[in-house]
Structure 1
Amino acid sequence: MAFIRILPDEQLARSPRVQLWREFARQHSAVAGLVLFCAFTLISIVAPFLLLHDPNQQMDSLLLVPPSWSEQGLIQYPFGTDDLGRDLFSRMLIGTRYTFGVAIITVLGSLFMGLILGALAGMSKGLKSSVLNHILDLALTIPSLLLAIIIVAILGPGLINTTWAIMLALLPQFVHGIRNAIASQLNEDYVTAYRLDGANNWHVFKRIILPNTWEQLTLMSSMALSTAILDIAALGFLGLGAQSPTAEWGTMIADSLDLIYLAPTSIAIPGLLIFLAVLSVNLVGDGLRTAIKKRRDG
C-alpha cells in the first residue's frame, strides 16, 4: 500500500478557513465590502486621534460654513459647520464610534448571551426546552426595531439604554439560530459516537458543536450587525437613542432636518455614511454566504 505524505503547505491549503478565504477573495464586491468594513472599524477605534476640532465646540462666528469644496468653504472645515458652528467633519468621525462601533458591541454582547441561552435551549429537553422555544417563537414575531423601541420606552432614552435595548432585541434571533444549529448537530452520528465514548454535554458543545457552527454564527452576526446599525440610527433619529449633543449619525440627521435647504450636506453626509456602513456589512455577509456554499459544494 502506498502512503501519500501531506506536507504542511498542503495541509494548510486543505484547511476549511483557507478554502473559505479563497472563495471569498474571488468575489470583488465582497473584498470591497471587507475593505470598507475594516475602514469603518479602524476609524471607530482611532477617531479621537483624527479630530480636527472638538466635535462639540460651538463657534458663533462660523455658523453654517459650507464644505471646503464650495467657494465660501474653509479648508479647516472639510464638511463645513452646522447651525451651532460645530465642525461637521469631526462630528462625522466621532459619530462612527456611536453608530458603527456601538453596533459591533451590541452584536458581540447579543452573540455571547445567545450562545448561552441557545445552548440551554438546544441541548435541553422536556419542559425547559418547550418553554424556551415558545418564548423565542413569540419574540421573533416582533420586529427588532419595534422591540427596541418598547425596551427604550421602559429604560428611557440615551445611548447606553439604546445599546441594551438593541442587544436584547437581537437576542431572540441569535438564540433561535444557535438552537437550530445545535439541534441539527446533535442528530449527527459522530455526536452519538462521541457520547458513547463518555463525553458529556459540555464536551460535545465545546469540541464538536462550536467548531462546526462558527460559520453559521459569523453569518448571523453579519446580518445582525446591519440591523443594529439601522436600529441605532433610527432610534437616534426618533429622539429615543443618543441625545444631543452626542454626534450619532441618526441624531445628527434629526437635528439638521430644518437645515435641509440651507445646509444639505449636514443631512446628506451622515445619511451616506449609514448607507455605506450597512452596505459594507451586507457585502461581507453575502460574500461569506456564497463562499461557504461554494466550499461545501466543492
Structure 2
Amino acid sequence: MPRFRLLPDEQLARSPLSQLWREFARQHSAVAGLILFTAFFALAILAPLITPHGPYWQNDALLLLPPSWSELGLVQYPLGTDDLGRDLFSRILVGARYTFGIAVITVIGALLMGLLLGTLAGMSRGVKSSVFNHILDLALTIPSLLLAIIIVAILGPGLLNTTWAIMLALLPQFVHGIRNAIAEQLSQDYVIAYRLDGANNWQIFSRIVIPNIWEKLTLMATMALSTAILDIAALGFLGLGAQAPSAEWGAIIADSLDLIYIAPAGVAIPGLLIFLAVLSVNLVGDGLRTAAKKRREN
C-alpha cells in the first residue's frame, strides 16, 4: 500500500509565500541575483541623491579624463569624463533610473494591462475568444524589439514613447500567458464544483484563479523585465529611445562608441551594468521557478 509522508506541524503552518522563500533561499545563485537586483533597484531610486556631480554639467578643462585608477585620473571623477567633460560616474548612476527603473515601470504596466486582457480572453467563449486568440498569436510571431521599433517609428523617438512602445511590445506575451493560465484553472474539477455551487465569474476569478496563478504572474514579470532592459538599451543605442543629453546606458554606449580606443570606459562600464542587470533578473527568475516547482512537489 502507498505510504503517505507526514509533514511536521511547523511546515504545515507555513504560508505558501514562506515556503516559497524557504526554497528560494536554498539557492545561492538566486540569492546573489536577488542582492544584485535589490542594489540596482535601490540605485534607480536613490541615484539623484548620491551623484557627486551633475550628470549634465560640462567642463571644457576635463575632456576625456581617464578613470581615477589611471595615472592621469582624478579621485573626484572615479570613472573619468566623456568628450564633453561630463562626469561618467554620475551619468551612469542616473542612467540606472532610465534603463532599469523604466524597465520596471513598463513591466508593471504591461502586467496590469495583460491581466485585464488575458482575463477577458481566458474567461470568454465563442467567436469573440477565437478572434482575439488568433490576433494574439499573430502578434506573438513578431519579436518584442522589432515590435517596439515599429511602434517607436509610429510614435516618434523619445524616452516617453519608448516606454509606451516596450509596454505594448511586452503586452502580447503577458496576455497569452495569463490567458493560458486562466484557461487551465477553469478546466479544473474544483472550479467546476465551485461554479455548480452557485459562484459567479468574479468569485471564481478572485477566490480561485488569482490565488493559483500569482506564481506564474511573478515568473512572467521577471522574464519580461530582462527583455525590457535589453530593449530600452537597444533603442537608446539605435537613437530611437532616449535622446541626448539623457544618461541612459544604451545612449551612453552609442555616444562613446567612436571614442572606444581613447576612452573605453564609456562603452565597457555601461555594457557591463546592462549585463549584470539582465543577469540578476534571470537568476531571480530561475530561482523563483525552481522554488515554485519544489514547493508544489512538497
TM over 0.5: same fold?
yes
User: Gaps spanning 5+ residues in structure 2: where?
Assistant: 1-7
- The aligned counterpart of 1:167 is 167
**CA distance in structure 1 between the aligned counterparts of 2:198 and 2:296, rounded to whole angstroms:** 30
- The aligned counterpart of 1:205 is 205
Once the two structures are superposed, the pairs formed by residues 86-97 of structure 1 within 5 Å of their partners are 86-97=86-97
- The aligned counterpart of 1:279 is 279
Once the two structures are superposed, the pairs formed by residues 82-121 of structure 1 within 5 Å of their partners are 82-121=82-121
**CA distance in structure 2 between the aligned counterparts of 1:122 and 1:201, rounded to whole angstroms:** 11
**CA distance in structure 1 between the aligned counterparts of 2:199 and 2:264, rounded to whole angstroms:** 63
- The aligned counterpart of 1:289 is 289
Aligned to 1:256, the other structure's residue is in SS state helix
**CA distance in structure 2 between the aligned counterparts of 1:50 and 1:282, rounded to whole angstroms:** 27
Aligned to 2:62, the other structure's residue is in SS state coil
Deviation string, structure 1 residues 118-152 (Cα, Å, up to 9, x no partner)? 00000000011011100110000000000000000
- The aligned counterpart of 2:222 is 222
**CA distance in structure 2 between the aligned counterparts of 1:69 and 1:12, rounded to whole angstroms:** 54
Once the two structures are superposed, the pairs formed by residues 6-17 of structure 1 within 5 Å of their partners are 12-13=13-14, 15-17=15-17
**CA distance in structure 2 between the aligned counterparts of 1:11 and 1:65, rounded to whole angstroms:** 60
- The aligned counterpart of 2:261 is 261
Deviation string, structure 1 residues 47-99 (Cα, Å, up to 9, x no partner)? 11001011000000010111111111111101100000000000000000000
What amino acid sits opposite 1:183 in the alignment? Answer: A
User: Gaps spanning 5+ residues in structure 1: where?
Assistant: 1-5
Aligned to 1:61, the other structure's residue is in SS state helix
Calculate the aligned-residue CA RMSD, in Å: 1.2
- Closer/same/farther in 2, CA of residues 12 and 89 from structure 1, 3 Å limit: farther
Aligned to 2:82, the other structure's residue is in SS state coil
Aligned to 2:60, the other structure's residue is in SS state coil
TM-score, length basis structure 1 = 0.96
Deviation of 1:12 (Å):
3.9
Deviation of 1:163 (Å):
0.3
**CA distance in structure 1 between the aligned counterparts of 2:32 and 2:90, rounded to whole angstroms:** 25
- The aligned counterpart of 2:38 is 38
**Percent identity over paired residues:** 77
- The aligned counterpart of 1:3 is none
TM-score, length basis structure 2 = 0.96
Equivalences, count:
292
What amino acid sits opposite 1:109 in the alignment? Answer: G
Deviation string, structure 1 residues 186-223 (Cα, Å, up to 9, x no partner)? 00111111112221111111111010000000000011
Maintained 8 Å contact 1:12/1:18? no
Deviation of 1:295 (Å):
1.4
Tell me if 1:242 matches 2:242.
Answer: yes
What amino acid sits opposite 1:174 in the alignment? Answer: F
**CA distance in structure 2 between the aligned counterparts of 1:95 and 1:198, rounded to whole angstroms:** 53
Deviation string, structure 1 residues 22-62 (Cα, Å, up to 9, x no partner)? 11111100000000000000010111100101100000001
Maintained 8 Å contact 1:223/1:285? yes
Deviation of 1:114 (Å):
0.1
**CA distance in structure 1 between the aligned counterparts of 2:12 and 2:184, rounded to whole angstroms:** 28
- The aligned counterpart of 2:189 is 189
- Closer/same/farther in 2, CA of residues 272 and 17 from structure 1, 3 Å limit: same
**CA distance in structure 2 between the aligned counterparts of 1:140 and 1:10, rounded to whole angstroms:** 41
**CA distance in structure 1 between the aligned counterparts of 2:283 and 2:17, rounded to whole angstroms:** 19
